[in-house]
Amino acid sequence: MAFSLVAFLDYLEKEKNFSRHTVLAYQNDIRSFFQFNDKNLGGKPDTEISYKDVRAWLGFLSNQNFDHKTINRKISALKSYFKFVIKIGEREDNPMKGHHTLKIAKKAMTPLSLDEMRDLLDHLHFPETYSGVRDKLILDLFYHTGMRRSELIQLKIHDADLGSKTVKVLGKRNKERIIPLTNSICVSIEKYLTLRNTMYTVGHNFLFLTDKGNMLYPQFVYNLVKKHLSQVTTKKQIGPHILRHTFATHLLEGGANLNATKELLGHTSLAATQVYTHTNIAELKKVYQNTHPRKNVKPT
């Protein structure tokens, strides 16, 4: 194993052009298997390692409280190693061939509270500069429309129809949808466009531009949202999607119809929209106590 591992790491660095950091990560993950092999499997050579041996290692990792994401990473490294061992002719089959990655539970995203949104949109200071007005409008639009980051980036000036107080969004699979706008958002768009047209008389017809007059890009929008949200919340998940998540949650908690919310979000199925239903236990108890037909029946 020692020679094969050295050759594999050399292959990653020199032929695959992996960074030194990545190569070290592969080295640590693969060595953890062979340390287990030496201690529990009698130090089997590469040619004799079976999937049963790998399964034993997986059980060991699970008992050591490694999460599924970490175990999947280690498995991926070991699978790549055995592909290399086959490549150099030391064995014909990959013992990892039949392995399926472990499922990783999605962490539930907690929406921002109404107070946090008020702090963001009503109390946080935004300078009366192009970038200040633009940033405030972007945050406002995310929360008032629930649009995706990619959809906001692709907005053209003519997509915002201030006369009808609507915005046209191009969603997934090029599906268009129309989202209503509030009076305050329309006023903010007018204010923003006045600044934009003064500063950038030629160039892109995209609604939002960077400070240099270029089209927005995903990391720019992510950094913008994170910068401002970090001033009003201690939540860790504060990218653009949390504003879409908050939009949907607040609508549904306010009594919005699930189908209507689905259309506003551009979802193809109700199942995708239902993840935003976060009625808490206190609300459930209140509804139950106020509406159940036997709520006032005395015990016998």
Active site residue 241: yes
Instruction: Report, as an integer, the average pLDDT of 55-83.
Output: 88
Specify the pLDDT at position 223: 96
Rounded to two decimals, the pTM is 0.62
Structure tokens given for 118: 């008020």
Please pick, among 87, 172, 175, 286, the residue that the annotation labels catalytic.
172
Specify the pLDDT at position 174: 84
- Residue range 2-87, CATH number: 1.10.150.130
Instruction: Report, as an integer, the average pLDDT of 9-24.
Output: 89
Instruction: Report, as an integer, the average pLDDT of 98-115.
Output: 77
Please pick, among 26, 81, 143, 276, the residue that the annotation labels catalytic.
276
Cβ burial of 76 (10 Å; 0-12, 13-18, 19+) is middle
Residue 144 has pLDDT above 50, yes or no: yes
96 close to 79: Cβ distance less than 8 angstroms:
yes
- Do the domains spanning 2-87 and 114-284 agree at the CATH topology level? no
Q: Which residues pair with 160 in a beta bridge?
A: 167
Instruction: Report, as an integer, the average pLDDT of 110-137.
Output: 95
Q: What type of residue sits at position 107?
A: K
Active site residue 267: yes
Per domain, the residue ranges of the chain are 2-87, 114-284
> Which H, E and C letters describe the chain, residue by residue?
CHHHHHHHHHHHHHCCCCCHHHHHHHHHHHHHHHHHHHHHCCCCCHHHCCHHHHHHHHHHHHHCCCCHHHHHHHHHHHHHHHHHHHHCCCCCCCCCCCCCCCCCCCCCCCCCCHHHHHHHHHHCCCCCCHHHHHHHHHHHHHHHHCCCHHHHHCCEHHHEECCCCEEEEECHHHCEEEEECCHHHHHHHHHHHHHHHHHCCCCCCECCECCCCCECCHHHHHHHHHHHHCCCCCCCCCCHHHHHHHHHHHHHHCCCCHHHHHHHHCCCCHHHHHCCCCCCHHHHHHHHHHHCCCCCCCCC
Specify the pLDDT at position 167: 96
| Per-residue pLDDT tens over the stretch 162-217 | 999 999 999 887 889 999 999 999 999 999 999 999 999 877 899 999 999 999 99
Specify the pLDDT at position 217: 94
Please pick, among 74, 134, 144, 148, the residue that the annotation labels catalytic.
148
Instruction: Report, as an integer, the average pLDDT of 3-7.
Output: 83
Specify the pLDDT at position 212: 92
When comparing pLDDT for 101 and 3, which is higher?
Answer: 101
Active site residue 73: no
Domain 114-284 superfamily per CATH: Intergrase catalytic core (1.10.443.10)
CB crowding 15-29: b at 16 or more within 10 Å, else e: eeebeeeebeebbeb
The percent of residues in the chain predicted with pLDDT above 90, rounded, is 53
| Per-residue pLDDT tens over the stretch 261-293 | 999 999 888 877 877 765 444 455 565 567 666
Give CA–CA dist 108/240, Å, rounded: 15
Active site residue 172: yes
Residue 252 has pLDDT above 80, yes or no: yes
Sheet containing strand 176-180, strands side by side: 160-161, 166-170, 176-180
Structure tokens given for 109: 């995203």
Left, alpha or beta for 269 (phi > 0: left; psi -120 to 50: alpha)?
Answer: beta
Instruction: Report, as an integer, the average pLDDT of 249-261.
Output: 88
Measured between alpha carbons, how far is residue 139 from residues 22, 122, 145, 183 in Å?
36, 11, 10, 16
Residue 64 has pLDDT above 90, yes or no: no
| Per-residue pLDDT tens over the stretch 32-58 | 999 999 999 998 988 899 989 988 998
Choose the weakest-confidence range: 91-95, 127-131, 151-155, 178-182. Answer: 91-95
The per-residue pLDDT of the chain, averaged, comes to 87
**Phi and psi torsions of 19, nearest 5°:** -70, 160
Please pick, among 74, 144, 244, 250, the residue that the annotation labels catalytic.
244
Residue 227 has pLDDT above 90, yes or no: yes
